[in-house]
Amino acid sequence: MTGSLRVAAAQIAPVWLNRDLTLARVIEQIDRAAVAGVELLAFGECLVPGYPFWIDRTDGARFDSALQKDLFAHYVDQAVCVERGDLDEVCSAARRNAMTVVLGLLERPAERGESVYASAVSIAADGSIAACQRKLMPTYEERLVWAAGDGHGLRTHAVGAFTVGALNCWENWMPLARASLQGQGEDLHIAIWPGSDRLTRDITRFMALEGRSFVLSAGGLMRRDDWPQDLPHAERLLQVTDDMPWANGGSCIAAPDGRWLVEPVIDQEGLFMADLDPREVRRARQNFDPSGHYSRPDVLRLQVNRRRQSSVEIED
């Protein structure tokens, strides 16, 4: 169990609600991180094409609102369809740089109509997709635009000497979601967030202590200059920008004993890196191993349904 792993959070902003331009930013960050020797790179929640910040600023719950319909239609149009090949260039960049990438995106599956999901997509170093976790329960106003996901992506995969899993934002508050990954050997947890040190500061260290794992929290940025000029209802959106920035980052990395390796970084764009030693996990689990010697599977067991949701089953 030797060999450290260099990991990083890419704390950047999207070109808000523009899929292709934001994907170009992602690829640029992958290539930059490779120069710095990064082997695993994580981005914020729904970075591509951006978090739906307009909802709670434009009366998003108003039924049959023309404004909300227009913004939703644009949002869905800019979502990522994996089956269509929207991620092919990102996968190529991961393969070209032999880098694992965890990317938060708005996913529009080909077989689910116009419903979209906040998904954490894990791309392996060979360019294949290792997992795609659709957020189990969108939080509060997010439910006005995101559909509820499933457990298909609750899976781990090997990256060097580590076993890696990923969750979206408030999924990280769900004890059973965390336990589902810990029970599959996770010792490096990736938590992706829209961007706030208020979200990441306490729970990142807690998850590290609970799992006796390394935890990387990746958050995004959102500033007025990250808006394209041709958004639907741009004038209306301009009226609700007084409290910009809407996302301040908060990316951080904690060790299995709860120490900060990178404290939460706010209002700063960049790659925030750490070198992880797998031996620290073994040291921390000497006295507490949450899915090993300190678990009681004879008393407490978790059942996980990893079937992908579908509205139709066809038998020919």
Closest alpha carbon to 273 in 19, 28, 39 = 39
Whether residue 289 is contained in a domain is answered as no
- Which of 39, 45, 171, 186 does the annotation list as catalytic? 45
The whole-number pLDDT of residue 1 equals 47
Whether residue 51 is contained in a domain is answered as yes
- State which residues of the chain have pLDDT below 50: 1
- Which of 169, 171, 186, 210 does the annotation list as catalytic? 169
DSSP letter string over the chain?
----EEEEEEE----TT-HHHHHHHHHHHHHHHHHTT-SEEE--TTTBT---TTGGGTTTT-TT-HHHHHHHHHHHHTSB-GGGTTTHHHHHHHHHTT-EEEEEEEE--TTSTT--EEEEEEE-TTS-EEEEEE-SS--GGGGGTPPP--STT---EEETTEEEEEEEGGGGG-HHHHHHHHTTT--EEEEE-SS-HHHHHHHHHHHHHHHTSEEEEE--EE-GGGS-TT-TTHHHHHTT-TT--SEEEEEEEE-TTS-EEEEEEES--EEEEEEEPTHHHHHHTTT--TTTTT--TTT-------PPP-S-----
Catalytic-residue membership of 46? no
Whether residue 295 is contained in a domain is answered as no
Catalytic-residue membership of 45? yes
Whether residue 304 is contained in a domain is answered as no
Q: Domain total for the chain?
A: 1
Whether residue 241 is contained in a domain is answered as yes
For 223, the domain range is 5-284
The whole-number pLDDT of residue 240 equals 85
Q: Angle between the 19-35 and 88-96 helix axes, to the nearest 10 degrees?
A: 0
The whole-number pLDDT of residue 160 equals 96
Residue type, 114: E
Catalytic-residue membership of 69? no
Whether residue 66 is contained in a domain is answered as yes
Whether residue 309 is contained in a domain is answered as no
Whether residue 307 is contained in a domain is answered as no
Residue 13 sits in a domain whose CATH number is 3.60.110.10
- Which of 39, 91, 135, 171 does the annotation list as catalytic? 135
Structural tokens at position 201: 């500061």
